Structure 1
Amino acid sequence: MISIKLARHGLKNTPFFHIVVLQSRSRPTRKPIEQLGTYNPIPHKDGSKDITLNFERAKYWISVGAKPSESVARILAKADIIPPRPRPGMPNPSPSTPIKAPAPSAPSTPSA
């Protein structure tokens, strides 16, 4: 089975990840089948993080049955390549109970 994982690179306290396609039983540090992109989790001063991803190749590997890890699945969901996974502990709104807006109250008339 083939999986899409993050392979850690970089220095101590400055992680940098490669998004790679590997055999599911192999270590992420082995030579990958293909590198799809990179991910830098350290935010810039404006709070943004660097992600580069080859969309066509990611869609191809998903279509042939590669399973992304949880962290890669979150990245792919933000890129709208796969639907987001439900997060454990977060309640899903049930479709049978629609949420109703509160009824508007009657305007009060000022007494003279």
Structure 2
Amino acid sequence: MCRRLVKMMHKAGGTGTFFKDSTKTIRLVNRGCTNRPFYHIVVAEKFREVKDQVIEQIGSMDPMPNEHNEKLVALNLERIRYWLGEGVKVSIPASEIFGLAGLFPMAPQTYMKAWRNRKQLAQQAATGGEAQETSS
């Protein structure tokens, strides 16, 4: 079986080289520091190491809330649609982000996280209310 090397040149980050018949995936790559995470959303060959060169960077994510309590995500929807049309697999964290962006249906994990957060807030409000009643 002959593996043919394909070279693509795009404006987005990445080498643009990959084997034509290789399995590709859209995943998050950690590019931040120990106490300051930052992720690139990339298209890469599935069996490459996380820090290896990627085919193309199609977005970024900053999970740390800024001064407005926002977590920032930038996506190149045109390139994401192209790669999905090519049959690229999507990792679970990337599919959650795409669901929140409206590109995919909402992931069940997203609903579970929201439910747990609401439950935790309700418990904190209940224990906070009890603490105020006993101190009065």
Fold in common (TM above 0.5): yes
Structure 1 unaligned blocks of 5 or more: 91-112
CA 86–47 in structure 1, closer or farther in 2 if over 3 Å, else same: same
CA 53–71 in structure 1, closer or farther in 2 if over 3 Å, else same: same
Select which of 97, 101, 107 maps to 1:75: 97
1:84 is displaced (CA, Å) by 2.4
Q: How does 1:8-23 map to 2 (within 5 A)?
A: 8-23=30-45
Letter of the 1:17 counterpart: Y
Structure showing greater radius of gyration is 1
* 2:58 corresponds to: 36
Whichever structure has more helix as a proportion of its residues is 2
Whether 2:79 is the aligned partner of 1:57: answer yes
Percent of residue pairs bearing the same amino acid type? 35
Q: TM-score, with normalisation over the residues of structure 2?
A: 0.61
- Deviation string, structure 1 residues 4-38 (Cα, Å, up to 9, x no partner): 01110121110110000011111221110000011
Structure 2 unaligned blocks of 5 or more: 1-22, 113-136
Aligned residues: 90
Tell me the distance in 1 between the aligned counterparts of 2:44 and 2:78: 17
Q: TM-score, with normalisation over the residues of structure 1?
A: 0.73
1:62 is displaced (CA, Å) by 1.1
CA contact (8 A) 1:5 1:28 kept: no
